[in-house]
C-alpha cells in the first residue's frame, strides 16, 4: 500500500506553503487508495514553540485534510511524535550505535567553537564547508580516554569516499551526488536526540513510508538518507521533490519572512474549500483548464508528473476571485452563520429576515468574509449626516421614494428627475447612494432602499436637508 507522510516541525504558525505541500502528499495517497500520515518531528528543542501542534491540527481540520494516522488520529505505527519515541526506548540511539559498531559512524568530540572556526576558515579559503574528520582519526585509546573523562560527543555518519550516490526522483528525474562533496552528517546529538537525518530515515522505515514527497530544501540531504537506508539494509522509499510557492514578485514564500499563515487566511475570511481548490490547482494544473473543482475531482485526476517543476505563483488576486466564487455558492443560511465571527456591528435590533435580505444584496460583492462587516454596516447603522447643497433634488427624491411602487418605475422617475435639473442620471443616483449608505460603492441603490424600507430611507434623506 502506498503511504505518504506530512512531517512538520512544530516551530510556530502553519505556513500556507506547508499546506500546499500537504495537498500534494494527500492527493497522491488518495489517488492511489493509500494512506496519508502525520508525523511530528519535534527533536529540535530550541525551535519548538508551545501551541504549534494545536495550531497544526486546527489548520488541517479547517481545510479538511484529515490524516489516516497521526498523533491524535491513532494508527499502528506510533508513536507519531519523535520526542515520544526518544522517551519510549529511543530507537534512534539504538540505530546510531549500530552504525558505530559497524564502523559506518564515529564519535565526534569537537566543540562548537572549533567547528565554527573550522568553517570560517574554509569559507575564507573558498573551500566547501564540511567536517574535516579530525575525530575519525582518533585512536581507540584516545576515544576511550575522552569517554573516561565524560567528554560530550555526537555521532557522525561516515560518508564513503569516491562514490556516486544516485536515485530516481519521481518529479525531477535521475539525480546524482558525488560522495566527496557530502559532509559527514551528525546523526545523534550529545543529548541523544536524533538529528533530522537519522530521525526521518528510522521513522520512514518504521512507518512503512513508500513515497517521500517533500520540498526542494531537502534534496541535498537525500543522498545522506539513501546511504542510511543502505547502511541499515532497509528498502529505500521512492523520492519526489516539489518546488516551493513563490510570491507575486517571484520571491520564495517564507515562514520566516512572515508570509501568509493559515491563521491569516482564516482570520481574513477565506473558505476552506476555496483554499483547497486554489492550492490544488497550483499543485496539479489540469489539461482542461478547469479551475473550480472539488476534492473528488482533484483526487481522481491527480498526477505526480503534473506537479510543477518550478515554484508556482501565489496569486492573491486569483485567490480572492476564487474565494468569491465559493462565497456565491453558499446558501444565505450558510453565509449568515459564517459571517458571524467577522461582524462587529450590532444586528440584534433587526430580524433574521432583514439580515438575510441584506446578505442577498452583498453576497455578490463579497470576496472574503471579513468584508461583510463594512458592506453590511449601512443596513444597521445610519451613515454620518452630511447637509446637502442640493436640497431641491433631495426633496424630489423623498417624494419618489415615498411613492415607490416597483424598481423599474423608481428608476424611470429618478432619470426624469435628472432631466428636470439638467443633471446626469448617474450624478442623481450618486447623491441618493451617498445619503442612504454613506458609501460610494454599494449594491444597486434601489434594492437597498427596498430592504431598508421607505420610512428609514426617507428619514436618512430628510436629515440631510435639516428636516
**Which of the residues are catalytic?**
255
The four Cα atoms 286, 289, 290, 291 give a dihedral, to 10 degrees, of 90
Secondary structure (3-state) at 255 = coil
Note whether 409 and 381 are within 8 A (CB).
no
Count the alpha carbons within 13 Å of 213 in the hemisphere toward its beta carbon: 29
Cα distance between residue 464 and residue 467, in whole Å: 7
Put the strands of the sheet holding 164-169 in their side by side order.
Answer: 173-178, 164-169, 238-241, 211-214
Secondary structure (3-state) at 61 = helix
| For the chain, the helix, strand and coil percentages under 3-state DSSP, each to the nearest 5 | 50, 10, 40
Note whether 56 and 80 are within 8 A (CB).
no
Supply angle C-alpha 361, 365, 368, rounded to 5.
Answer: 120
Strands of 219-357 (E only): list them. 238-241
Closest CA to 408 of 462, 447, 381: 447
The CA-based diameter of the chain, rounded to the nearest angstrom, is 108
Closest CA to 39 of 202, 184, 280: 202
Helix (H) or strand (E) holding 35: strand 35-38
The string of DSSP codes covering 378-422 is HHHSPPPP---S-HHHHHHHHHHHHT---HHHHHHHHHHHHHHTT
Note whether 244 and 216 are within 8 A (CB).
yes
C-alpha cell at 189: 546529538
CB contact set of 113 (below 8 Å; sequence gap of 6+): none
Beta strand pairing status for 154-157 and 186-188? antiparallel
Beta strand pairing status for 3-6 and 35-38? parallel
Number of neighbours of residue 205 by Cβ within 10 angstroms: 18
Amino acid at each position: 500500500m502506498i503511504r505518504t507522510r506530512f512531517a512538520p516541525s512544530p516551530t510556530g504558525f502553519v505556513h500556507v506553503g506547508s499546506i500546499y505541500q500537504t495537498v500534494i502528499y494527500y492527493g497522491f495517497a488518495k489517488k492511489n487508495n493509500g494512506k496519508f500520515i502525520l508525523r511530528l518531528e519535534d527533536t529540535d528543542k530550541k525551535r519548538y514553540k508551545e501551541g504549534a501542534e494545536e495550531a497544526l491540527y486546527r489548520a488541517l481540520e479547517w481545510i479538511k485534510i484529515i490524516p489516516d494516522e497521526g498523533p491524535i488520529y491513532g494508527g499502528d505505527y506510533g508513536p507519531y511524535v519523535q520526542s515520544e519515541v526518544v522517551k519510549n526506548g529511543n530507537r534512534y540511539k539504538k540505530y546510531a550505535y549500530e552504525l558505530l559498531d559497524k564502523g559506518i559512524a564515529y564519535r565526534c568530540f569537537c566543540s562548537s567553537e572549533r567547528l565554527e572556526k573550522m568553517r570560517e576558515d574554509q569559507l575564507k579559503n573558498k573551500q566547501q564547508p564540511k567536517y574535516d574528520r579530525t575525530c575519525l582519526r582518533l585512536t581507540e585509546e584516545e576515544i576511550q580516554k575522552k569517554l573516561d573523562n565524560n567528554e560530550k560527543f555526537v555521532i557522525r555518519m561516515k560518508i564513503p569516499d569516491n562514490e556516486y550516490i544516485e536515485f530516481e526522483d519521481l518529479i525531477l528525474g535521475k539525480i546524482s551526488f558525488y560522495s566527496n562533496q557530502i559532509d559527514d552528517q551528525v546523526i545523534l546529538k550529545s543529548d541523544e536526540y536524533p538529528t533530522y537525518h537519522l530521525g526521518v530515515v528510522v521513522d520512514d522505515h518504521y512507518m512503512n513510508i513508500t513515497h517521500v514527497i517533500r520540498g526542494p530544501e531537502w534534496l541535498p540531504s537525500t543522498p545522506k538518507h539513501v546511504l542510511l537506508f543502505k547502511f541499515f539494509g532497509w528498502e529505500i522509499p521512492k523520492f519526489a521533490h516539489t518546488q516551493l510557492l513563490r510570491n507575486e514578485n517571484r520571491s520564495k514564500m517564507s515562514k520566516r519572512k512572515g508570509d501568509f499563515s493559515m491563521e491569516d487566511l482564516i482570520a481574513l475570511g477565506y473558505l476552506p474549500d476555496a483554499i483547497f481548490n486554489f492550492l490544488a490547482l497550483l499543485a496539479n494544473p489540469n489539461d482542461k483548464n478547469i479551475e473550480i473543482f472539488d476534492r473528488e475531482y482533484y483526487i481522481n485526476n491527480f498526477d505526480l508528473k503534473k506537479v510543477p517543476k518550478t515554484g508556482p505563483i501565489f496569486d492573491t488576486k486569483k485567490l480572492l476571485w476564487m474565494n468569491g466564487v465559493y462565497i456565491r455558492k453558499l446558501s444565505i443560511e450558510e453565509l449568515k452563520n459564517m459571517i458571524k465571527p467577522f461582524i462587529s456591528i450590532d444586528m440584534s435590533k433587526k430580524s433574521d429576515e432583514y439580515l438575510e435580505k441584506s446578505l442577498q444584496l452583498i453576497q455578490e460583492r463579497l470576496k472574503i468574509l471579513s468584508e461583510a462587516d463594512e458592506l453590511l454596516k449601512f443596513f444597521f447603522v445610519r451613515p454620518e449626516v452630511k447637509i446637502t447643497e442640493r436640497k431641491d433634488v433631495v426633496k424630489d427624491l423623498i417624494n419618489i421614494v415615498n411613492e415607490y411602487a416597483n424598481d423599474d418605475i423608481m428608476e424611470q422617475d429618478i432619470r426624469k428627475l435628472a432631466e428636470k435639473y439638467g443633471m446626469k442620471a448617474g450624478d442623481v443616483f450618486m447623491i441618493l447612494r451617498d445619503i442612504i449608505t454613506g458609501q460610494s460603492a454599494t449594491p444597486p441603490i434601489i434594492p437597498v432602499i427596498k430592504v431598508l424600507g421607505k420610512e428609514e430611507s426617507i428619514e436618512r434623506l430628510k436629515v440631510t436637508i435639516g428636516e
